[in-house]
Amino acid sequence: MSIRLAAVRLFKNGRQLVRHIHKSKISSFNRAAEPFPGPPAPQPRPSLVQQVTQQARRVVVDAVLSRVTHSVAADLRRKVTRQLLFGDSRPFFALVGVSLASGTGIITKDDQLEAVCWEIRDAVNRSKNLRSNQLFKEDLPEIGLANLEFGPEPLAKGCSAVVYPARWRNENPEASTSNGNAHVDSSNSIYEYPLAVKMMFNYDAESNASSILHAMLRETVPAWSRDFDVVQVLDYTATGRLSSLSPHANIVEMYRVFTDRIPDIPGAMDLYPDALPARINPSGSGRNMSLFLIMKRYDGSLRDYIVKNPPSPRVGQLLFAQLLEAVAHMKMNNIAHRDLKSDNVLVDLVDGDDVCPVVAVSDFGCCLADTDHGMNLPFSSPHVDRGGNAALMAPEVACARPGPFSSINYSQADLWSVGTLAYELFGMDNPFAGKGATLYNRTYKEEDLPALPDSMPAPLRALVYAILSRNPSKRPSPELAATISQLVLWAPSEWLKSREMRAPSSNEVR
């Protein structure tokens, strides 16, 4: 038996040895057959944006990895094991895939940095705002107007909705709702009413949840929870195609969404009589039921904030960076807002008027959030809805022509709209909208763009001009634009002043 085993092993190992010898000969032959390399072709000089990004990435990689000791690596390995067994293992399997594809079995510096960045993102995602968690009311299985108390005065009213301050109803029997009338208190303070309830005007959809979903589903894209019956949701086929937008610091906090009967609120007859149903206003045109969105209450719109508190150059940079982060997050989720303007951006003055506010993009009623088509909208007919504000449509959207095989790519459209808002953030009129409009998005040329103020850093001015390029392929991606804006904000000034673009040392990073 031992002789037979030895013969089998000899045959097996001998075959592997022969394959190895032939493989080495073929490799040497291929190397000998390679032509002699000629002089390298001249490479185009990278732009300022590319140089800043490359140098900053190299510095961050070296600085982060220089701090990773063996003990930290061991801790990461233990976390990997726990994450694979009990948590979200997708980021780590992605690293394994990169390692296997490289063929070396060794994780590179970029892979290690990605693992560290994933740890940072995971820690940030776990750090929830306590106030937001309390407002979310996740423990309530069903939500309706019976769970809410409204403030005395509305916060805002538009052509399609009205927004009221609100709070969760206490166990106060006097605050009960009867005969469809919503309880209204006398105070309107944001501390007394930390919620905002947006009531959509319903003129067309039938008074049931399914029909209302058909008409207003896009409004619920940023919602954390939708309070609809499962059968009703499944009956609506478009619900399965709707992209959901994960929570983000610069996206409106929309806690719950539900349908209910239109309440009889004091002052409604004077404010929006046509939107009321006949049971409240005999001459009204509204339906009995509509969609209600429960959101965090903000301090106002970005437009109002700019008018009342003209931002300093530093605050303007911070606001611009936040808008770019919001656009990058939406694109990462394959969602195009299509109606970005200063009226649709909310501000949160949580730290007072003298501190830069937190901005949040809201009003997703015109958004494109289709999992089937992504950010490409089939444009077979001129009746296809292109989006919201026509003045702030990107050129590729405004100039698109319908056809049997035509489509509109919105992947860079929101970025262009934010580029126009940069003028408002730095004390100038928007050149494409409003009273100071001098350019038309269909016909303008890049050289016609108004000069940005000298108070803006030169790299940021170059970034805005690049964002407003007519050709979407010449614009930076939203992710790159957000990265550059953050570097301009937080990187040492010496990094941007040097014409030689010298890579900063590790000591400078520290």
Cα–Cα distance measured from residue 181 to residue 322, given in angstroms and rounded to the nearest whole number:
40
Shared-domain flag, residues 400 and 485: yes
More confident of the two residues 434 and 444: 444
pLDDT at 421 over 90: yes
Using alpha carbons, select from 388, 410, 406, 378 the residue that is nearest to residue 397.
Answer: 410
Is there a single domain that holds both residue 183 and residue 213?
A: yes
Residue 458 lies in a domain: yes
Residues 391 and 491 both lie in one domain = yes
Q: Are residues 163 and 216 in the same domain?
A: yes
Which token pair is 251? 């996206």
Catalytically annotated residues: 339
Q: What is the predicted pLDDT for the residue at 177?
A: 43
Does residue 41 lie in a domain region?
no
Would you say 414 and 478 are in contact if contact means Cβ atoms under 8 Å apart? Answer: yes
Q: Which helix (H) or strand (E) holds 200?
A: strand 195-200
- Give the pLDDT score at 182: 58
Q: Are residues 369 and 484 in the same domain?
A: yes
Count of alpha carbons within 13 angstroms of residue 64, beta-carbon side: 18
Domain with 113 in it: 87-121
The answer to whether 319 and 345 are in contact (CB under 8 A) is no
In a domain, 484, yes or no: yes
Greater model confidence, 131 or 399: 399
Whether residue 265 is found in the same domain as residue 384: no
Domain boundary among 297, 331, 366: 297
In a domain, 22, yes or no: no
Q: What digits encode the pLDDT tens for the residues 156-202? A: 998 999 999 999 987 444 444 444 455 555 567 888 999 999 999 99
Strand partners of residue 408: 377
Query: Span 68-79, mean pLDDT?
Result: 51
Share of the chain above pLDDT 70, in %: 62
Distance, in Å, from the CA atom of 443 to the CA atom of 445, rounded to the nearest integer, reads: 7
pLDDT for the residue 211 = 87
Q: Are residues 96 and 216 in the same domain?
A: no
Q: How far apart are the first and last CA of the chain?
A: 68
Both 378 and 415 in one domain: the answer is yes
Percent of the chain with pLDDT over 90: 50
Does 453 score more than 90 pLDDT?
yes
Examine residue 65 and state whether it is found in any structural domain, yes or no.
no
Q: Tell me the DSSP string of 439-463.
A: --TTT--GGGSPPPPTTS-HHHHHH
Give the per-residue SS3 of 302-336: HHHHHHHCCCCHHHHHHHHHHHHHHHHHHHHCCCE
Same domain, 365 and 442: yes
Q: Which of 83-92, 212-221, 393-402 has the least mean pLDDT?
A: 83-92
pLDDT at site 149: 93
Provide the total of helices (H) and of strands (E) in the chain, helices listed first.
Answer: 17, 12
In the listed set 263, 297, 331, which residue is the last one of a domain according to the structure?
A: 297
235: pLDDT strictly greater than 70: no
Do 107 and 145 lie in one domain? The reply is no
* Count of domains forming the chain: 3
Contacts of 494 (CB under 8 A, 6+ apart): 504, 508
Tell me whether residue 110 is in a domain: yes
Angle in degrees, CA 112, 114, 119, rounded to 5? 100
104-162 pLDDT, tens digit each:
556 666 666 666 666 655 655 554 444 455 566 665 657 889 999 999 899 999 899 99
Query: Greater confidence, 89 or 430?
Result: 430
Query: Which domain CATH number covers 384?
Result: 1.10.510.10
DSSP one-letter string for 21-54: HHHHHHHHHHHHHSPPP-PPPPPPPPPHHHHHHH
Same domain for 115 and 141?
Answer: no
Higher pLDDT, 258 or 120: 258
Residues 235 and 344 in one domain: no
Q: Does 273 fall in a domain?
A: yes
